[in-house]
Structure 1
Amino acid sequence: MGLGIAFVLPPLLLLLPTGWAYLASRGRRFTTVDCPPREVAVVLGALVPPSGYPSPLLRQRLDAAAELYHNAVVSSLLVSGDNRAAANHETDAMARYLHQVHALPTRAIRADPHGFRTWDTCRHAVSSSPGPPVRSAVFVTQAFHLPRTLALARVAGIDAVGVGVASLSVRRRATYYGYAREVAATARAALDVALRRG
């Protein structure tokens, strides 16, 4: 009996944060078609290859955010990511793509160049870095990443809803990996929240 518990308990404890994220984001996950209006769309960064052109998964996020802007669901965009040279200047690439491909005016785009992690993005958004504090937002990312993102945004004090773009048909392997990775990433996020660290 005791041995069985020893085998079962660790996986259950690992899954508890995932349950928290899905409960915290319940009723707040939408598509670009039915998303309620908010002040700003926050687009989380992802891989930018050395070419400087956003990866397919990142383009999905940016395309969805541009749709929200053009449909007047949001009035501005905040792109957040790692803008260091080692990351190929994520936020610069994101802003450039939105301006050149989707004709968003530069005044409608601001950047958080230090969004190294999802928790960083949420904290920076409410601390007026950069720009005015974000009180309500649509967070745009892949569907597998959305529950953790919304849970963290709400902890940070943002009235957050989200658009989770479906990525299976674009990057099947990356999508499967993303769902698997979220279990550990959400456990770490829950620990960050509990300790209010980072």
Structure 2
Amino acid sequence: MAHVSASSAGHEYSPDDVPARDVALVLGAKAHPDRPSVSLASRLDLAVELWEAGSVRAVLVSGDGLPRSNNEPRVMRDYLVARGVPAERIVEDVAGFDTYDSCVRARDVYGATGLTIVTQDYHVPRALTICRSVGLDAVGVGDTSFRERHPSVWARGAGREWLANLKMEWDLLSQREPQQDPASEALRRAVEAG
């Protein structure tokens, strides 16, 4: 936990004071066939808020794109488009199977160098630690509305973080390689669109 605290310190912001970055990385969570789960919708609503405020220029939605998970990135994209984020400003990473994969792939596949992580508030420190450890100039904005609306579900998610932190340490130590795909220019094009 000391590693997470030290790595994330000074890099967590509210939506009102987050420094501008070209890219928001929205981390995946459970998706239903036709809509995001409540926790995922909360993350996506926060991304819409950042988009509307001009704090980000493109959104990278990263999650499990397989049918078993109802293609999380596609559900995320559709939700954002329905709320006014232009489709050409959204890029889907279909192999973000966990937070580590999403961060490393943002760097290696999509060419990100700096980004704003968007997830639940309890998840931000770990996501920041991973991104910053793999060389991304990352800041984070955590959704707090989910905690207020669904406190017991939020508490279960927060309680699992200590195990997730152990896995993160192993991933960082072993430098585990996520699914390797060819480099993509999609994120650069999304940032430059319009």
- Is 1:156 aligned with 2:131? no
Aligned 1:8-87 pairs, distance under 5 A: 18-50=1-33, 52-87=34-69
Q: 1:185 aligns with which of 140, 143, 164?
A: 164
Identity %: 35
Q: Which runs of 5+ in 2 are unaligned?
A: 178-194
Code of the aligned partner of 1:175 = W
- Deviations 1:45-94 (Å, cap 9, x if unpaired)? 001124x2011111111011111111111100000000111001100000
Q: Is the 8 A contact 1:56 1:170 kept in 2?
A: no
- Is 1:143 aligned with 2:121? yes
**C-alpha deviation, 1:40, in angstroms:** 0.3
Q: Residue 90 of structure 2 aligns with which residue?
A: 109
Code of the aligned partner of 2:91 = R
Code of the aligned partner of 1:153 = C
Alignment root-mean-square deviation, CA: 1.0
- Deviations 1:131-183 (Å, cap 9, x if unpaired)? 4x100100000011110000000111110000011121222122111111000
Secondary structure of the residue aligned to 1:43 is strand
1: CA distance, partners of 2:94 / 2:25: 13
TM-score norm. by structure 1 comes to 0.86
1: CA distance, partners of 2:63 / 2:107: 16
2: CA distance, partners of 1:26 / 1:86: 36
TM-score norm. by structure 2 comes to 0.88
How many residue pairs get aligned? The number is 176
> Which stretches of structure 1, 4 residues or more, deviate above 3 A after TM superposition?
none
1: CA distance, partners of 2:64 / 2:133: 22
Q: Is the 8 A contact 1:45 1:79 kept in 2?
A: yes
Q: Decide which structure has the larger Cα Rg and report it.
A: 1
